[in-house]
Amino acid sequence: MREITITTECLDFIDNQNERIATKFFQIIEVIGEVKVVHTNFVKKLLNTQFYELRIKTGNEIRIIIFAIDHLKFAE
């Protein structure tokens, strides 16, 4: 459904995390790519911006800024 592009900086960051975080990251990316409506536990809109945050909860919360390139809304 969605085409996802991940920057090298993001991949470097994920590579420097523990295996549990990396696994969770790629699981969430897979969900985002396949499901139109993604639960706010995984992706949440940042108020008054065009950006969203990808939320990885594994003990500590890691948040990665994401955005849609071809639509204003993430769900489209």
Domain boundaries, the chain: 8-66
pTM: 0.81
Predicted pLDDT of residue 35: 87
Cα 3 from Cα 65, distance rounded (Å): 16
DSSP H helices, the chain, are 8-15, 19-34
Predicted pLDDT of residue 50: 85
pLDDT in tens, 22-64: 999 999 999 988 888 888 889 898 999 888 999 999 888 899 9
